[in-house]
Amino acid sequence: MSALGEGAAPVAPGRLSGLFATLGHARYVIGGNPVTGFAFGLLGLLVICAIFGPMLAPYDPLMSDTLAKLQPPSAKHWFGTDALGRDILSRVIVAARLDLTIAVASVALVFAFGGLAGIAAGFFGGWTDRIVGRIADTIMAFPLFVLAMGIVAALGNTVTNIVIATAIINFPLYARIARAEASVRREAGYVMAARLSGNSEWRIALTTIMPNILPIMMVQMSLTMGYAILNAAGLSFIGLGVRPPTPEWGIMVAEGSGSIISGEWWIALFPGVALMLAVFCFNLIGDGLRDIVDPQRRT
Amino acid sequence: MLKVLFGRILTTIPALIGVVVVSFLLTRVLPGDTAAYFAGPAATPQAIQEVKQKLGLDKPLPEQFTRYVGDLVRGDLGQSLTTGQPVLADLKSRLPASAELTLFGLILSLIIAVPLGIVAAVKQGSMIDHACRAIATAGVSLPVFFTGLLLVYLFYFIWQVSPAPLGRLDVFASAPPTVTGLYLVDSLIARDGEAFRSSLAQLLLPGVTLAIFALAPIARITRASMLAVLSMDFVRTARASGLPASKVIMIYAFRNAMLPVITTLGMVFSFLLGANVLVEKVFAWPGVGSYAVEALIASDFAPVQGFVLAMAILYIALNLLIDLSYRLIDPRLGATT
């Protein structure tokens, strides 16, 4: 439980100073931990690639040039070219948008559904709690990546379904955290106050409980983001979801996997490194955010 | 003890029911023609009709479910279109390969991660501690298929110390007579040194890939749990009584610190069974994971469904095993139930 979240939410006028305090603390944590600063820099780079990717890419990511195929990195093609002569640097840059979109969309989806279900379960208890718990347990009974494979195979092989599958396998995590955080606040003083002033239970859950557990959920979002990217890339590596020739990191590694035995390392290496850096960056930010939100759990 | 065992087995039933229901729902409630799914992309309308009859898709859902459960009980998971074999037979023949790989990877990562975690906790703030944290952070960020490819490039292409990443044995070796299905064990039983060497050489890279993947969570939790135990009163008392440090750490602290580690193994297994699929694809490993991937690409749905169900049941069984071993290690738990 974070002292910060508790103090900031119930009193509205204190919020602004609370925000400044948080920002100040954030700057302090980032300043004290250069790794987190580095991670935020990396995130900035990723976001720039995702937004302006097609403009930044030196070549058309889909244009193949059979004369220049399988070329190692050079001044002309910094990351080399693949078996069809496409420029790998351009493909890696352009792919950032798709990879990040999949991750953001699935995390947002599970944040909405898992978070709400968890709040309802923790706040109302009773049969709501039992149903949500049962659903979470059933999902957890599967090895998660295998379940995601099954879902995408059954729903159909599209990017949307990768987003849905990734959201579903993360559902238990979000539901459980939200449930635990909501249930400890069920009888908190400010919840009692809200109840006494005549708010309905749903209103309390959404306007009083939810803002209070938001910081903890945000940390979770950042930590799951890396996992969501890995999961989506894994699915597309085995041929689910994203279809060639669409540039996407997982599928690019898969395309390069055949050439690695014959020594063309650059086709798989660069998208793989991009993938790794993206996941690394979200994990570091998650750890950094946790330090800001919940100083007690610092490791 | 037997009563505890039985009671614990009973608690897996809701999970089993859930898993069966989900795997049933995955095919029936979803949009699209289920019969067309199972008949595959190249099916004639007549074949689709046949599948429809066989699955009873013209019947109401509850009846379909009863029939599905009945099929499962008889071990009928349907036919694979690509291999032409019953799915269960395919899974059975390929499971040992996957089991060998997963177990090898898990044991390897335990051998490295647990001592690493202990040393990191005992010498908190030392170089080893920092190395442990670095490995834990990097390990969770590495896509497992990428690690595999990187290892192939380094050990096969550059240094040429590893055989080609194609299956469980190199082309000149022959498989040992089947006893357990695990080539390492079978070749030892048959005293076939050549087969042992060959299968170990093939297993090493994919095993290391999986181990790197599982290393991070195990090392992290070992370190954290050792740190927590080492600060407890009974450790201080043991130290104050003049016991040698090795005894305090290995017997007093480690045994208590093992409990969270074993709990984490459940999560590690969930990761490993998923990562297995990717590693098998990279190394052309003839296990159940690559079987499911081949079926996926051919839009052959029955093997995929069978695979998902089999993995889920295996995972439930593993969790049961973990839970039971937990009770063996911690006698306090056995006394309360």
Quote the ipTM score: 0.89
The tens digit of pLDDT for each residue in B241-265 reads 998 988 888 888 988 888 888 888 8
CB contact under 8 A, A154 and B26: yes
First CA to last CA distance, chain B:
10
A234 vs B19, B143, B272: nearest CB: B143
The better pLDDT of the pair A5, A74 is held by A74
The tens digit of pLDDT for each residue in B12-63 reads 898 899 999 998 888 776 666 677 777 777 778 888 888 777 777 777 888 8
Quick one: pLDDT band at residue A4, thresholds 50, 70, 90?
very low
* CATH, residue A134: 1.10.3720.10
Q: How many CB atoms lie within 10 A of CB A254?
A: 24
Residue A68, in any domain of the structure:
no
Whether residue B115 has pLDDT greater than 80 = yes
Q: Secondary structure of chain B: what % helix, strand, coil (to 5)?
A: 75, 0, 25
Most trustworthy range by pLDDT among A21-25, A171-175, A238-242, B140-144 = A171-175
- Out of A219-228, B29-38, B81-90, pick the least confident: B29-38
Chain B residues touching residue A263 (CB < 8 angstroms): 153, 157
CB contact under 8 A, A269 and B296: no
Residue A245 preceded by cis peptide, ω within 30: yes
CA distance A193 to chain B (A): 38
The tens digit of pLDDT for each residue in A99-154 reads 999 999 999 999 999 999 999 999 998 899 999 999 999 999 999 999 999 998 88
Contact A202, A210 (CB under 8 A): no
Whether residue A193 has pLDDT greater than 50 = yes
Nearest residue in B to A230, CA atom = B143
Q: Which pLDDT does position A32 carry in this prediction?
A: 63
Crossing angle of the two packed helices B193-230 and B127-141, in degrees rounded to 10: 120
CB contact under 8 A, A261 and B315: no
CB contact under 8 A, B140 and A143: no
Domain carrying residue A167: 22-60+80-297
Whether residue A259 has pLDDT greater than 90 = no
Crossing angle of the two packed helices B254-282 and B288-297, in degrees rounded to 10: 40
Q: Which two tokens stand for residue B187?
A: 């070749």
From residue B23, alpha-carbon distances to B19, B72, B311 in Å are 6, 11, 11
Q: Is domain B96-286 in CATH 1.10.10.60, yes or no?
A: no
Cβ–Cβ contact B293 with A under 8 A: yes
Whether residue B193 has pLDDT greater than 80 = yes
Taking residues B320-326, what's their average pLDDT?
86
The tens digit of pLDDT for each residue in A194-214 reads 989 988 888 898 888 888 888
Contact A184, B57 (CB under 8 A): no
Number of domains in chain A: 1
Q: Which pLDDT does position A230 carry in this prediction?
A: 92
Rounded to two decimals, what is the model's pTM?
A: 0.88
Cβ–Cβ contact A150 with B under 8 A: yes
SS3 of residue B75 by DSSP: coil
The residues spanned by each domain of chain B are: 96-286
Residue A3, in any domain of the structure:
no
The tens digit of pLDDT for each residue in A58-94 reads 888 888 887 777 888 888 888 888 888 888 899 999 9
Residue A71, in any domain of the structure:
no
Q: Which pLDDT does position A3 carry in this prediction?
A: 42
Nearest residue in A to B304, CA atom = A150
Interface test with B, best of A145, A170, A225 (most B CBs within 10 A): A145
The C-alpha atoms of residue B269 and residue B274 are separated, in whole angstroms, by: 8
Residue A248, in any domain of the structure:
yes
Residue A114, in any domain of the structure:
yes
Crossing angle of the two packed helices A126-140 and A88-124, in degrees rounded to 10: 150
Q: Which pLDDT does position A30 carry in this prediction?
A: 65
